[in-house]
Chain A
């Protein structure tokens, strides 16, 4: 009798185990619809842009009723984790949205899109200067640049007026001018603020400062060249400039800090894409009416800009490469790209020369120096091309930390530190 009962118990447990295992096995057997094109796109700081792209996808589906397009919009953190997980497991979406040197990082998992890129360039007057920075890796187009967001000088017209600087002067500014103005602005308690912390904004802000003095992390061959008289000059200069900024800039992190700095009406100048302006229009119109954008300041070696180039890539294991190519071309088509531009309120900058003709930037005075860009555009990792080491230099915020170290540990110590770290990163790159 006892044994029988025990048997019953075993059966129950066995049953539960079997059910669980069969669920595990049965789930993979369930298949999805036949032709599905899926996209992973990073969410846009102007939400109507997403609505427009969704609408365009619907329109495309009308032309191609056999295909279902799904778009997943994700945050930047999520994009990084998802791309890695997908590339390593050879699964996931068909088209992925890549940020700047992601193209280099994932080049071995991306489908060459030379035909798409060359066709687009031939039809639309060629690429703007964004081209050589992105997508074109090891002699192949591994991603098609879509649009760019760059860091321009964001300033308060009223505060600058108080110290006697108008838009014309502001747009011709050199870093030496900035030094003089920064002191005056600090005196009226509306200081300037450049992020010099562990975040992406910092790289996009101090990178152009370093380059405009002639410094660079590496040369064209990928040899570390940070220890140079030009870097010393940039750091010596920054020590003078930074004393007029709030100390908080060294702790600015998640990217929202310099936005609040300007939105609060406290700060008078920072470097950022027009996202601050977009927020101000929505939340604090009293601040928005005094915000304007001009070119970044020039140094002895010129005027530079940095930012994010957003491109579209296709995983080389995607089951729908032809559909993906077609849809990318569709999104890049002039009428569609223009509609996206308008939805983005003018913040998407073009990568194709002909698209620079859109009137939106001329019509909106505050954006007429944002685009067309008059500065030289580069990404952290220049003067080498797109590279994983460049991406790591950016992720680890080596350059902003060097600038911060220069103020605490001295210029030489900062350069030595940066050189050691950079050499480790570039050694890995050249191993290939």
Chain B
């Protein structure tokens, strides 16, 4: 039923997207890939050096630490967001009166510009004067927690903030998924005498699985590419233990003027993105077709 005319129309309708993305992303991305194989200083043409930037990065202790940091930060943040997101969604689903208001309230952290919320958290984490330590020192931890001055706690601080910001999106999306599960299916399981936990385990979670994996993979990509949170709260410190690709690239490439190396750092994340993308696409294709 699709004629030549429609095909033409289809191309025409897709054209704007393709044109915009090619000109605004295609060219810059290609240029960045090219830069990563060069030594490029500000104001002079790049010199091609092959994979030298990448080789140097692999040998750099700060960069290796950054890879580890990114892995820890991304993996734990996303894991916690998924678990808490499912729990929060299940709870929200049980709430009748006031669910709309509560949904709104719980979405707040996702709405506020990260640059501003990161500042609040930084202010709250302040070891000597932050409200978190002020409260802890008067209650359960008299000596306070070294939030930003020790690697372990600095990573915790960033993960907590990331979870705070991302949890609403996870919970609301999962809630939508749970609402979509046919009521009669649930009723049928209830008649079979399944308990609440069994219902979640054998009905809700399996049905939620597709949504879970999509959100998880999207979030993996976004978390690994995070910038503002780390930049504002820890600046990559203490002792570089919280640098991510984006913050290190900013320090070396953009502020330090080594554009080639900065591009190489940013692009190092591409294999990671590629694997995620492959997984998402494989999954999503199955659903679309």
Question: Is A404's beta carbon under 8 Å from chain B?
Answer: yes
Interface contact A404-B239, CB-CB below 8 Å:
yes
CB distance from A5 to the nearest CB of B (A): 10
Supposing A250-B149, A417-B61 touch, asked if A13 and B255 sit within 8 A by C-beta, the answer is no
Interface contact A261-B62, CB-CB below 8 Å:
no
Question: Is A61's beta carbon under 8 Å from chain B?
Answer: no
CB contacts (< 8 Å) of A408 on chain B: these are 239
CB contacts (< 8 Å) of A396 on chain B: these are 62, 251-252, 256
Question: Is B278's beta carbon under 8 Å from chain A?
Answer: no
Interface contact A392-B252, CB-CB below 8 Å:
yes
CB contacts (< 8 Å) of B73 on chain A: these are none
CB distance from B154 to the nearest CB of A (A): 7
Supposing A3-B5, A197-B237, A417-B61 touch, asked if A247 and B257 sit within 8 A by C-beta, the answer is no
Question: Is B232's beta carbon under 8 Å from chain A?
Answer: yes
Question: Is A108's beta carbon under 8 Å from chain B?
Answer: yes
Across the interface, B235 reaches (CB within 8 A) one of A109, A198, A392, A424, namely: A198
Interface contact A428-B258, CB-CB below 8 Å:
yes
User: Cα distance A20–B19 when bound, in Å?
Assistant: 11
Interface contact A254-B236, CB-CB below 8 Å:
no
Q: Mark A1-40, 1 if CB is under 8 A from B, else 0.
A: 0010011011001101100110000000000000000000
**Which of B40-48, B191-199, B200-208 binds A?**
B40-48
User: Cα distance A401–B42 when bound, in Å?
Assistant: 27
**Which of B82-90, B99-107, B123-131 binds A?**
B123-131
Across the interface, B8 reaches (CB within 8 A) one of A10, A109, A253, namely: A10
Supposing A14-B12, A396-B256, A421-B61 touch, asked if A247 and B146 sit within 8 A by C-beta, the answer is yes
CB contacts (< 8 Å) of A237 on chain B: these are none
Residue of B nearest to A6 (CB): B5
Across the interface, B238 reaches (CB within 8 A) one of A80, A197, A424, namely: A197
Number of interface residues of A (CB under 8 A): 54
CB distance from A236 to the nearest CB of B (A): 19
Across the interface, B42 reaches (CB within 8 A) one of A20, A84, A253, A395, namely: A84
Q: In the complex, which residues 378-432 of chain A have their Cβ closer than 8 Å to any Cβ of chain B?
A: 388, 391-392, 395-397, 401, 404-405, 408, 417, 420-421, 424, 428, 431
Supposing A109-B42, A199-B235 touch, asked if A13 and B9 sit within 8 A by C-beta, the answer is yes
Q: Mark B244-266, 1 if CB is under 8 A from A, else 0.
A: 00000001101111110100000
Residue of B nearest to A16 (CB): B16
User: Cα distance A251–B240 when bound, in Å?
Assistant: 11
CB contacts (< 8 Å) of B61 on chain A: these are 417, 420-421
User: Cα distance A4–B22 when bound, in Å?
Assistant: 32
CB distance from A247 to the nearest CB of B (A): 5
Interface contact B238-A404, CB-CB below 8 Å:
yes
Across the interface, A254 reaches (CB within 8 A) one of B8, B62, B235, namely: B235
Interface centre among B127, B235, B256, B257 (most CB of A within 10 A): B257
Interface contact A17-B42, CB-CB below 8 Å:
no
Interface contact B256-A395, CB-CB below 8 Å:
yes
User: Cα distance A81–B240 when bound, in Å?
Assistant: 22
Question: Is A347's beta carbon under 8 Å from chain B?
Answer: no
Interface contact B43-A108, CB-CB below 8 Å:
yes
Q: In the complex, which residues 108-135 of chain B have their Cβ closer than 8 Å to any Cβ of chain A?
A: 122, 126-129
CB distance from B190 to the nearest CB of A (A): 50
Question: Is B56's beta carbon under 8 Å from chain A?
Answer: yes
Residue of B nearest to A14 (CB): B12
Question: Is B170's beta carbon under 8 Å from chain A?
Answer: no
Residue of A nearest to B262 (CB): A84
Which 7 pairs of residues, A with B, have the shortest CB-CB distance?
Answer: A198-B237, A251-B148, A251-B149, A108-B43, A109-B43, A248-B127, A392-B256
| A and B contact pairs by CB, cutoff 8 A, 9 listed | A105-B257, A108-B43, A250-B150, A251-B154, A253-B237, A254-B232, A392-B257, A421-B61, A431-B39
Tell me the B residues contacting A by CB distance below 8 Å: 5-6, 8-9, 12-13, 15-16, 19, 39, 41-44, 56, 60-62, 122, 126-129, 146-150, 154, 232-240, 251-252, 254-259, 261
If A246-B127, A253-B235, A395-B251 are given as contacts, then 6 extra A-B residue pairs at C-beta distance below 8 Å, sorted by A number, are A7-B5, A13-B9, A20-B16, A87-B42, A108-B41, A428-B258
Tell me the A residues contacting B by CB distance below 8 Å: 3, 6-7, 9-10, 13-14, 16-17, 20-21, 80-81, 84, 87-88, 105-109, 197-199, 246-254, 257, 260-261, 264, 266, 388, 391-392, 395-397, 401, 404-405, 408, 417, 420-421, 424, 428, 431
